[in-house]
Amino acid sequence: MPAGRAFMHPLAKPALFVLALLPLAWLVWGAAADKLGANPAEYLERSLGDWTLRFLCLTLAVTPLRVITGTAALARFRRMLGLFVYFYAALHLLAYAWFDMGFDLAEIAKDIPKRPFILVGFLAFVLLTPLAATSFNRAVKALGARRWQALHRLVYLVAGLAILHFFWMRAGKNDFAEVAVYAAILALLLGWRLVQAVRKRRGPGAAAARRA
């Protein structure tokens, strides 16, 4: 079956939903079976952060892949992937609040502005919230396509904050290899969008110049 037709299959979205939950299922199983190493709480918290970044990369990769391959059906999955970015980000934040702070809201409020890497991570989550809240069709109609698109460009700022959060978190151990990989992927995906935007703006003017 051609890829485009496979992506349009009624079971394609349910299959993606199940696949996107597998990392969480594996972490829950690992915690229950005591397979997460000497510090399960830290492993859970960091793994949830890693999966947030991975789903962010996947979400931002949808449009370039759709355009480059000419597979319009890929657009069907962008919203679901974006919601899983928020889902894993919320679990990452929940793990911090639970394992690091014991759900002590007063201490959490003190800790967030005190540690820069937590502050930028929390800010990224705050900026993701309106994107998740407006990810349904009724929100697009209520806001209007232009304002909705402008709001959802915040994902570029979220991507930058997410990398900065990851960088500062790894700075204490002087371990930047994974940071560099994610930064390169996101830079490539955002750079592609920048090139497309520049081409789109220059297109009509360049065409008019050629006609003249």
End-to-end CA gap in the chain = 47
**Residue-level pLDDT at 48:** 97
Mean pLDDT by 10 residues, the chain (212 residues): 77 96 97 92 95 96 94 94 98 96 95 94 97 92 92 94 94 86 94 90 57 41
This model's pTM is above 0.85: yes
Q: How many residues does the chain have?
A: 212
CA atoms of 16 and 21, how far apart (whole Å) = 9
Rounded (5°) CA angle 78-93-88:
25
Record the tokens describing residue 196, joined without a space. 């497309």
* Number of domains the chain contains: 1
- The whole domain housing 93 covers 3-211
